[in-house]
Chains A and B, each alone.
Chain A
Amino acid sequence: MSSTNTMVSAEEVIDFVDHETELADGHRLQEWLDLWNPDRALYHVPYPGETPGRLQVAIIRDGYGQLCQRIQRLSSGSAHAQEPESKLCRVLSRTKIRDGEEGSVIASSNFVCVEWRPDREVLWAGTVIHTVAPRPDGGLELWHKEVRLVNAQKEIPPLAFLI
């Protein structure tokens, strides 16, 4: 752990990442949405080789407005891709912590996530990068979540849950 941020301990960051994981696995959608800072939110699942300054499609690139729409849709009960909800179990490990900008802290972890649906099981894996920062009234909030899937270059089935 190599963060020099004195406002945020490594333990707090890990607890936050664990909590975010638990909410995502459990489809606790509104609580998950409440983790985000509306002014800074970016939920990003890129294709490999994305370079800044060029227009390139991503699997997911949600600002806060789109995050709200994603949660609204998943909460509606009529999103076929999550009716029923996927059963999810993910494991994070090898978390490395470093300083981000403007008082934020970045946690990079490996993850493996098993998604079970009635007609298929899918193994998702890759790196997840959480950028978190302290909230004025205590606790942490989420600024960025970037997920680099190991199989992003491959043809993948629907990715309709919170990866």
Chain B
Amino acid sequence: MSITDVAVSDSTDRVRDWVRPDEGKVLGRIYTDPDVHRDEIERIWKRSWLFAGHETEVPESGDYVSRTVGTVPLIISRTADGEVAVVINRCMHRGGNVCTQECGNTKAFTCGYHGWSYRNNGDLLGVPYQQAYGPEFRKSEHGLQPPARVATYRGFIFVSYAPEGPTIEEHLGNAREVLDRYIDLSPAGRLRLDAGYNRIRLDCNWKMYAENSSDNYHNNFVHASAYMTEAARKIALAISREESRGVVWALGNGHSYLDFRNEELVQGMVLRSAAASGEDEDELQYRRDLEARLGAEKAAQLLSEGPPTLFIFPNLFVIQQDIRRLEPVSETRSHLYQHPAMLDGAPLSVNKARLTRHETAYGPAGFVMSDDLEIFAQCQQTVAETADDWILLSRGMRREEQCDNGTLRAHVTDETGMRGMWREYLKLMCRDGA
């Protein structure tokens, strides 16, 4: 592509034509077009709030993790004064890599190319043979750059590469209260993402995965092999078919929520997902500790409802036992990181049970996840081969209910959450002047 092609390849008109949530359809090309992908990186991934990590991944002074978040390499560190610093992993000299390890503990990062070194808060420490830059060279002007904005919400670290935009609270919007209900399952009111994470290669476009995060229609078909006991099978079948009393919400800002609070079949059952099974002393202690912080009524409510299934556009998905970060790699490939979410203050056996449930069901070898991954890959492949055909996204359009706070709700098997995501997508991709 030459520079004279740039104006011609802007995807705005194509996106408007291909993405029609109000008609319940999108064109296959939206998952395959490289110009669309390039524009998504600029207009969504370089502007939105992206989930980057969790404060509990760097508990001790000097701890760091490094990872690419929305195509930009970052380092998240715990500084000497106890704060969390986020910097871009790029030497200010010639763009080299200052941190080559995925995680560790260090007082300084050093670029392998010319030895420039930086404190973990980004301050430039040392420039070899600095005299050549003259007396006017100010180290303070050449520290590692932070992303334009960094915000934390109850331990969740978000970044945005756009200097202006909504606050993180504004972005979370109606999803904030739902996320709170997950975090509040911890007796300390805090999750711990300190048990490592799975790394998954998705052979599909990131939007295909995002759609699946509000899909409660697929379970009985994709996951038919996943239910090991008759009891589990009956419950799983019931909550994902027409008779279920679950609800899907489009929360606004592209977020979606699979809400099982009315679904009696999973009440109490999710307690066994949140806590060790059986009424043993640890489970009782966990319940007592939760009541101590929240009061008996709220604790009982949260324990009954369990962890919400919540997608926060564009890259954060929280589900039963884990927190997921989605990254766009190309139009046909994405990466997914699954961090088991331990409940701070809960007994070890409760968290161990959560971890075990996560390990068996999720990760690339999990009995739930591996079938999802296969279906996504097949779907991406078929869509790519038939890209001029429409994807039907109309399920539930006739029975959506508009609510006062700007949310839309429908039956839990409906595609309302996905249409909500596509509407936000259109707003970001087709801005005037973009």
Contacts and interface: CB of A to CB of B under 8 A. Distances in A.
Main secondary structure, interface of B, reads mixed
B199 A55 contact: no
B203 interface: yes
A58 to B, nearest CB: 6
B342 A55 contact: yes
Nearest to B201: A155
A80 B222 contact: yes
B201 A157 contact: yes
Interface of B: 102, 194-201, 203, 222, 224-226, 228, 335-336, 338, 340, 342, 348, 351-352, 355-356, 358-360, 363-365, 367, 369-371, 373-375, 377-378, 381
8 contacts: A47-B196, A55-B340, A57-B197, A57-B338, A58-B363, A59-B363, A80-B222, A153-B199
B359 A72 contact: no
Task: Point out which of A47, A79, A153 has the most chain B C-beta atoms below 10 A from its C-beta.
Answer: A79
Contacts of B348: 55
Contacts of A80: 222, 225, 371, 374-375
Contacts of A77: 225
Contacts of A58: 359, 363
B377 A119 contact: yes
Given A80-B371, A119-B381, A156-B201, A59 B222 contact: no
Nearest to A74: B225
Contacts of A159: 364-365, 370
B390 to A, nearest CB: 23
Contacts of B226: 73
Interface residues of A, number: 34
Contacts of B373: 81, 157-158
Contact of A160 (B194, B203, B355, B370): B370
A124 to B, nearest CB: 11
A66 interface: yes
Interface string A53-80: 0111111111000100110110011111
Nearest to B362: A57
A78 B225 contact: yes
A79 B371 contact: yes
Nearest to B355: A55
A154 B352 contact: no
Given A57-B363, A59-B365, A73-B228, 8 more contacts: A50-B196, A55-B194, A57-B196, A73-B225, A77-B225, A155-B200, A159-B370, A160-B371
A55 B357 CA distance: 13
Nearest to A153: B102
Contacts of B203: 119-120, 157
Residue picked from B226, B374, B377, most chain A C-beta under 10 Å? B374
A158 B365 contact: yes
B195 A57 contact: yes
Nearest to A58: B359
Contact of B365 (A54, A76, A160): A160
Given A55-B355, A157-B373, A78 B224 contact: yes
A143 to B, nearest CB: 20
A13 interface: no
A66 B359 CA distance: 10
A45 interface: yes
A163 to B, nearest CB: 8
User: What are the nearest 10 A-B pairs in CB distance?
Assistant: A81-B370, A155-B201, A158-B370, A160-B370, A159-B365, A81-B374, A80-B371, A79-B225, A78-B225, A78-B224
Contacts of A81: 370-371, 373-374
A158 B374 CA distance: 7
A59 B377 contact: no
